[in-house]
Structure 1
């Protein structure tokens, strides 16, 4: 479980394609690797990955084909910057919202509008996820916990403060770039529970 509060910007230092449709990635992240051991979870652009090795501030993780198909990790290259967050500890503050690190879909940036001291960024919204996105609700974009400002049938907008732009990959992404989306898991559970009732 994560909070959507990015701890540091990491860098992809190695990508190795596996047999079939898998891959192994190596990510430099001195902060998140400082206490990471084999089997620990680290979110990479919002995707929960399991540490298989950690040496010299670089951790490696296996990425299966399902993850490559359902996220933007397959578009990464050596040198790409990524958002990194360690799994939340039960005794820590929950600064963002409950994030699982399970990507629901990929969106694209469709507009960036500068405002006074902040920026409005609009993203495409996959049709199958639209019902889970509400104004003033939480959404995770590339592992960043954000509040939805506005939502339409096929897009949503968030307000990005300078700290978010500076400290995450969202600040450097351009119109057309892909981003990982994770909707609020509570909405999905509510839907399932209500769907099983005879109303």
Structure 2
């Protein structure tokens, strides 16, 4: 489990490519390596990955086909940075919200409203996730636990499905600690819906369907 409180960033220093498979080697800062062992879970841009090898500051992680398809990790190159969070431990303070590290989709960054001390960023969400997103709810964006500031309807996609756009407001600490300050319009971010919100929405939908068929 993760909390969505990004602990810092790490640089991708090596990529080993194989058929529908990748190994990423990151240069992890010292504090992020404390007690780290092979088999441990570490979130990269919100994606839960397993440590496969440790060589000093260089730590390796394997990316499977589904990870490359669903997340933005497959688009990374050497020199790029990712948001990093070590797995939560019992007794840790939950400063964000409970996150599983299972990214559901990507969202496109479509608008940036920068102010001197904060930044509002708008994203376009895939239509299939729109029912889980509402103002003041939680959402995971590249592994960061954020509060949705506002939502608005977006244009229909090629299938005629109505999508949704949402924004988040970022304080200086978030901009300094994560890669969000470097994101530009047109880039894709990883999205994890709040698991509790997803469970509640899907339960209510099942109950309503059952009632209609009584």
Q: Distance in 2 between matches of 1:52 and 1:23?
A: 12
Match of 2:91 in 1: 91
Instruction: Provide the aligned length of Structure 1 versus Structure 2.
Output: 198
Quote the offset at 1:191 in angstroms: 3.2
Checking the alignment, whether the CA contact within 8 Å between 1:27 and 1:59 is kept in structure 2 is yes
Q: Distance in 2 between matches of 1:76 and 1:4?
A: 21
Instruction: Return the TM-score normalized by structure 1.
Output: 0.95
Structure showing greater Rg = 2
Match of 2:201 in 1: 191
Q: Distance in 1 between matches of 2:196 and 2:64?
A: 26
Quote the offset at 1:28 in angstroms: 1.1
Task: Spell out the pairing of 1:33-72 with structure 2 (5 A cutoff).
Answer: 33-72=33-72
Checking the alignment, whether the CA contact within 8 Å between 1:83 and 1:168 is kept in structure 2 is yes
Quote the offset at 1:115 in angstroms: 2.8
Quote the offset at 1:83 in angstroms: 0.4
Match of 1:174 in 2: 184
Q: Distance in 2 between matches of 1:83 and 1:37?
A: 19
Alignment of 1:155 onto 2:165? yes
Answer with 36-45 or 106-115: which moved more.
106-115
Quote the offset at 1:116 in angstroms: 4.8
Match of 2:74 in 1: 74
Q: Looking at secondary structure, tell me which structure has more helix per residue.
A: 2
Quote the offset at 1:59 in angstroms: 1.1
Checking the alignment, whether the CA contact within 8 Å between 1:109 and 1:174 is kept in structure 2 is yes
